[in-house]
């Protein structure tokens, strides 16, 4: 989704702003722009489409200036073209904005009555005019006054032609981080754009305004109450957000899963004493152990991981659990009582619906636990307690390592609670040992990359695929289908295998690829019957099966083997071949897997 960067320093900033915007490209965008202050004037360069267009524009008409703001826009109000691209500006004020101004239509009418004429269709332009209207001699005061009239969500950074040494930023519902460099300050919506400059950051909170000059910064609330902020160290490094020899981030992130899951397990999975340590829940462990019900919530891939969590919590910890889409939970008047714990699952920690679900749960008195990857993100900060994934930055739009990280964390949590509730030490020993083997087992699956590619290439022209799984592998089927559709644009549906008979079986035709997750477990016999049903209708079966299962090779057209593990841990393995299958099908179809059409990495608007 939209990306923001602002820099104030001692050298020309336009080039550095574009470099920062490139770091935010993965979030998805359709136009981009930069504004700097030059000789007391605001100068802008904007372009539709990719950043290379903006770079061309900047080569033709270079932009000097030691203070500037830049933006990658993902259209909400108005088509993606140059006039709608940010920064939006008046003669005096330029602004970049993430979020949505809900009362923008009323503001437009009001501003038009004041004689303002608009040049774009965006909600953001109203902010620029409002600030200009309120401006007397102090940009910070003008921003503060303008925001009193604004309803909605925003992260904004503004500059003013009359104050060539000042950046003013404000946040309400859309993240902003201030990077404290040696001779410069960098403000951005995502730490990825800051890392090249510094690892020292300040996280802005909602309803805060920051005034940044070359000499320092000060933060206040929207009501002008001073706020003291701590400078924190970002835990990510620059090389973690680079491709490291891979062609795509998605590919890199699939292949780094063994390594990052080891990091996720480190210090938590105690292989010597066969127990689990989770620092993020020590203060609420008693309450968690006594929970009468758990509601898990999230969006997209995180929702699929939450569904695995539901199965784990009920099966192993024997706590009633249910999973809800964050977008539904927030509006459906959910029943939350004192014994309910809400677990919020999110890679970015910024997804708007998930954040709203969290707030809804808190308002209703629930204890809320976060399972989040991005340290310091909004969800991480607003939850009462949490467990970070520690899988490093995820840049690929199609989530891969975050899914396995989320499932790993939910497994650790479940085992911790199960042991505290009733699980025998003997069972615990088995689970801990099996979980410790998972990273190595994923490595073994990744070695089959070439044969998975062959399967993907064979079926890449088929426009309808089914993914079927049962029990723990039902969420994996959903996730496998989502991966395929989001990056290869092939229509795919994931289902609990038994549901196939209640309708979707009508779709099966000669040559249709049907992916079965058919590993050994309690429902193996049942899923084999489903395989037979598909075969007899001419479907081509691609089976993910347990190593050594020769019987399935008689039935399936293709078999991808995964090592044996305990059934509740299977999703951590069975999802890997499906990530590879989707990746190779998309590449074979010529799709840019890191920039899938219409998709954003982090959906920060509703």
* Burial annotation 394-430 (CB, 10 A radius, 16+ → b, else e): bbbbbbbbbbbbbbbbbbbbbbbbbbeeebeeeebee
Listed ranges 207-215, 286-294, 297-305, 356-364: which one lies at the site for ligand G6P (CB under 6 A): 297-305
Listed ranges 433-441, 455-463, 503-511, 595-603: which one lies at the site for ligand G6P (CB under 6 A): 595-603
> 369 has which bridge partners?
343, 385
If the CB atoms of residues 250 and 442 are measured against ligand G6P, the closer one turns out to be: 250
Task: Work out how close the CB of 593 gets to ligand G6P at its nearest, in angstroms, rounded to a whole number.
Answer: 12
- The residues annotated with a catalytic role in the active site are 2, 601
If the CB atoms of residues 94 and 355 are measured against ligand G6P, the closer one turns out to be: 355
- The closest alpha carbon to 45, from 27, 29, 64, 19, belongs to 64
And the tokens for 201?
């950051």
Q: 540-546 and 558-562 as β-strands: parallel, antiparallel, unpaired? A: parallel
Give the span between the Cα atoms of 89 and 81, in whole angstroms.
16
**Site residues for ligand G6P, window 395-434 (CB under 6 A)?**
397, 399
If the CB atoms of residues 347 and 473 are measured against ligand G6P, the closer one turns out to be: 347
Q: Is 602 near ligand G6P (CB under 6 A)?
A: yes
Listed ranges 270-278, 407-415, 548-556, 594-602: which one lies at the site for ligand G6P (CB under 6 A): 594-602
Q: Is 351 near ligand G6P (CB under 6 A)?
A: yes
Instruction: Report the residue closest to ligand G6P, judged by CB.
Output: 300
Listed ranges 243-251, 298-306, 455-463, 541-549: which one lies at the site for ligand G6P (CB under 6 A): 298-306
Contact predicate 270/277, CB 8 Å: yes
Sheet strands (E) in 136-264: 154-160, 163-172, 177-180, 185-188, 200-203, 208-213, 216-221, 226-227, 232-233
- Spatial CB neighbours of 529, under 8 Å, sequence gap ≥ 6: none
- The closest alpha carbon to 474, from 446, 453, 493, belongs to 493
Please select the residue that binds ligand G6P; options are 51, 299, 410, 562, rule is CB under 6 A.
299
Please select the residue that binds ligand G6P; options are 257, 346, 473, 523, rule is CB under 6 A.
346
Cα 222–chain centre separation? 28
Task: Work out how close the CB of 527 gets to ligand G6P at its nearest, in angstroms, rounded to a whole number.
Answer: 26
Task: Work out how close the CB of 175 gets to ligand G6P at its nearest, in angstroms, rounded to a whole number.
Answer: 12
If the CB atoms of residues 72 and 166 are measured against ligand G6P, the closer one turns out to be: 72
Cis previous bond, 87, omega within 30: yes
- Rg, Å, the chain Cα set: 25
And the tokens for 94?
């330029």
Task: Work out how close the CB of 335 gets to ligand G6P at its nearest, in angstroms, rounded to a whole number.
Answer: 24
| Residue 590 half-sphere exposure toward CB, CA atoms < 13 A | 1
Contact predicate 519/575, CB 8 Å: no
Q: Is 300 near ligand G6P (CB under 6 A)?
A: yes
Q: Is 603 near ligand G6P (CB under 6 A)?
A: yes
If the CB atoms of residues 98 and 441 are measured against ligand G6P, the closer one turns out to be: 98
Listed ranges 66-74, 141-149, 292-300, 488-496: which one lies at the site for ligand G6P (CB under 6 A): 292-300
Task: Work out how close the CB of 299 gets to ligand G6P at its nearest, in angstroms, rounded to a whole number.
Answer: 4
Task: Work out how close the CB of 60 gets to ligand G6P at its nearest, in angstroms, rounded to a whole number.
Answer: 34
Task: Work out how close the CB of 180 gets to ligand G6P at its nearest, in angstroms, rounded to a whole number.
Answer: 26
Q: Is 599 near ligand G6P (CB under 6 A)?
A: yes
Specify the DSSP element, H or E, that contains 514. strand 513-517
Q: Is 348 near ligand G6P (CB under 6 A)?
A: yes
- The closest alpha carbon to 341, from 389, 284, 390, belongs to 284
If the CB atoms of residues 177 and 542 are measured against ligand G6P, the closer one turns out to be: 177
Q: Is 302 near ligand G6P (CB under 6 A)?
A: yes
# residues contacting ligand G6P (CB under 6 A): 16
Give the span between the Cα atoms of 208 and 221, in whole angstroms.
4
| Residue 267 half-sphere exposure toward CB, CA atoms < 13 A | 9
Task: Work out how close the CB of 411 gets to ligand G6P at its nearest, in angstroms, rounded to a whole number.
Answer: 17
Q: Is 468 near ligand G6P (CB under 6 A)?
A: no
Total residues belonging to the chain = 606
562-591 footprint of ligand G6P as x/- string (CB under 6 A): ------------------------------
Taking CA atoms, 28 is separated from 186, 316, 350, in Å, by 21, 39, 15
DSSP 448-470: THHHHHHHHHHHTT-SEEEEEE-
303-342 footprint of ligand G6P as x/- string (CB under 6 A): ----------------------------------------
User: Which spans of this chain sit near ligand G6P (rule: CB under 6 A)?
Assistant: 298-302, 346-348, 351, 354, 397, 399, 599, 601-603
């Amino acid at each position: 989704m939209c990306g923001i960067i602002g820099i104030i320093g001692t050298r020309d900033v336009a080039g550095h702003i574009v470099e920062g915007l490139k770091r935010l490209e993965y979030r998805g965008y359709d136009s981009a722009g930069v504004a700097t202050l030059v000789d007391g004037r605001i100068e802008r360069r904007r372009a539709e489409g990719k950043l290379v267009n903006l770079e061309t524009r900047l080569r033709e008409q270079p932009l000097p200036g030691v203070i500037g703001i830049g933006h990658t826009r993902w259209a909400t109000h108005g088509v993606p073209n140059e006039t709608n691209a940010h920064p939006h500006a008046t003669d005096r004020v330029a602004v970049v904005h993430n979020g949505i101004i809900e009362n923008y239509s009323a503001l437009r009418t009001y501003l038009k009555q004041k004689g303002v004429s608009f040049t774009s269709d965006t909600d953001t332009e109203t902010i620029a005019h409002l600030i200009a209207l309120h401006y007397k001699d102090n940009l910070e005061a003008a921003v503060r006054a303008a925001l009193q009239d604004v309803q909605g969500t925003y992260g904004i950074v503004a500059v003013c032609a009359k104050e060539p040494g000042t950046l003013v930023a404000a946040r309400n519902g859309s993240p902003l981080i201030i990077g404290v460099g040696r001779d410069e300050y960098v403000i951005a919506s995502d730490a990825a754009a800051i890392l090249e400059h510094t690892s020292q950051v300040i996280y802005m909170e909602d309803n805060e305004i920051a005034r940044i000059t070359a000499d320092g910064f000060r933060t206040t609330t929207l009501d002008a109450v001073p706020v003291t902020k701590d400078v924190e160290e970002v835990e990510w490094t620059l090389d973690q957000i680079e491709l490291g020899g891979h062609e795509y981030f998605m590919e890199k992130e699939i292949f780094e899963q063994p390594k990052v899951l080891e990091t996720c397990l480190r210090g938590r999975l105690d292989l010597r004493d066969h127990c689990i340590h989770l620092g993020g829940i020590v203060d609420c462990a008693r309450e968690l152990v006594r929970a009468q019900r758990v509601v898990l919530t999230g969006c997209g891939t995180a929702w699929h991981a939450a569904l695995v969590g539901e199965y784990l919590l009920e099966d192993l910890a024997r706590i009633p659990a249910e999973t809800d889409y964050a977008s539904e939970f927030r509006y459906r008047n959910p029943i939350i009582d004192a014994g309910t714990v809400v677990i919020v699952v999110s890679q970015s920690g910024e997804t708007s619906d998930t954040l709203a679900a969290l707030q809804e749960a808190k308002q209703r008195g629930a204890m809320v636990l976060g399972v989040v990857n991005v340290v310091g993100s909004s969800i991480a900060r607003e939850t009462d307690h949490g467990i970070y994934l520690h899988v490093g930055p995820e840049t690929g739009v199609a989530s891969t390592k975050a899914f396995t990280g989320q499932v790993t964390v939910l497994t650790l949590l479940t085992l911790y609670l199960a042991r505290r509730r009733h699980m025998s030490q003997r069972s615990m020993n088995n689970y801990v040992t099996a979980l410790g083997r998972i990273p190595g087992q994923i490595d073994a699956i990744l070695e089959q990359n070439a044969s998975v590619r062959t399967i993907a290439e064979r079926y890449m022209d088929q426009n309808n695929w089914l993914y079927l799984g049962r029990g723990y592998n039902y969420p994996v089927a959903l996730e496998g289908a989502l991966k395929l559709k989001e990056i290869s644009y092939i229509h795919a549906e994931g289902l609990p295998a038994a549901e196939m008979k209640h309708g979707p079986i009508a779709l099966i035709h000669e040559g249709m690829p049907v992916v079965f997750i058919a590993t050994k477990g309690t429902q193996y016999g049942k899923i084999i019957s489903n395989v037979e049903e598909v075969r007899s209708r001419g479907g081509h079966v691609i089976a993910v099966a347990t190593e050594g299962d020769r019987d399935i090779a008689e039935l399936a057209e293709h078999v991808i083997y995964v090592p044996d593990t305990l059934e509740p841990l299977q999703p951590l393995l069975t999802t890997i071949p499906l990530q590879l299958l989707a990746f190779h099908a998309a590449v074979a179809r010529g799709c840019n897997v890191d920039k899938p059409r219409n998709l954003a990495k982090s959906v920060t608007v509703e």
